[in-house]
Chains A and B, each alone.
Chain A
Amino acid sequence: ILNVEQSPQSLHVQEGDSTNFTCSFPSSNFYALHWYRWETAKSPEALFVMTLNGDEKKKGRISATLNTKEGYSYLYIKGSQPEDSATYLCAFLYNQGGKLIFGQGTELSVKP
């Protein structure tokens, strides 16, 4: 059974705080790891697709790292803003065209 775990489940921060979340996944049969930002009633928005061990990707104030050997990825948000409030989902992919196996998500709330 392939298990993807995310922590923490929820996070409440003040505007301007930097924050990070963890996603752990199986270290065998790795193909790719996705990070999505999701607000209820909207489409999950792809942030990153990560494939190589040691990968580091950045999009504005958000960045992610990947360690496929130990099976974890970190998502960082620098200087959180209220508009960053959302659920951040990671999803594991073990073959091309295969199904995504999602973690339970981290719900981020940023207070002004």
Chain B
Amino acid sequence: GEEVAQTPKHLVRGEGQKAKLYCAPIKGHSYVFWYQQVLKNEFKFLISFQNENVFDETGMPKERFSAKCLPNSPCSLEIQATKLEDSAVYFCASSQSRLQFFGPGTRLTVL
């Protein structure tokens, strides 16, 4: 597609439940990024992929967060046993070179 698509738009989970977010990058883009926006305007990098390989995972909280980008499937970001502080908007972006194109985000609310 011509735009980065993210689903769902909103997700509500009770503390301790699992949350799974999906991202379809722009066709032909080989890099995919996940960012977490918790505080107003603060975009924090989580993880990036080059095709299906992890490129940089320095931002990922290792214990409960995992992510995948498998061929012919949307990329996914999964949070096991969600905590209140995981409440945020999760943005996915894709890129072919310098410019990163962003999706509309998934708002995760943990109650």
B-binding residues in A (CB < 8 A)? 31-32, 34, 36, 41-44, 46, 49, 51, 87, 89, 91, 93, 96-102, 104-105, 107
Contact = CB atoms under 8 A, between A and B. Distances in A.
Given A97-B50, A98-B56, A46 B99 contact: yes
Interface in B60-111: 91, 93, 95, 97-105
A49 B98 contact: yes
Given A34-B99, A46-B99, A49-B99, A107 B41 contact: yes
B48 A99 contact: yes
Interface string B34-65: 01000001110100101000011011000000
B4 interface: yes
7 contacts: A34-B99, A46-B99, A87-B41, A93-B98, A96-B97, A99-B33, A102-B42
Interface residues on B, range: 20 to 34
Interface in B3-52: 3-4, 31, 33, 35, 41-43, 45, 48, 50
Nearest to B56: A99
B24 to A, nearest CB: 13
Nearest to B42: A104
Given A32-B98, A44-B91, A100 B104 contact: no
A105 B41 contact: yes
Given A89-B43, A97-B50, A98-B48, 7 more contacts: A41-B104, A43-B101, A43-B103, A43-B105, A46-B102, A99-B45, A105-B41
B100 A100 contact: yes
Contacts of B95: 97
Nearest to B95: A97
9 nearest A-B pairs in the assembled complex, by CB-CB distance: A105-B41, A99-B45, A102-B43, A32-B98, A43-B102, A44-B102, A43-B104, A49-B99, A97-B31
A87 B77 CA distance: 26
B48 to A, nearest CB: 6
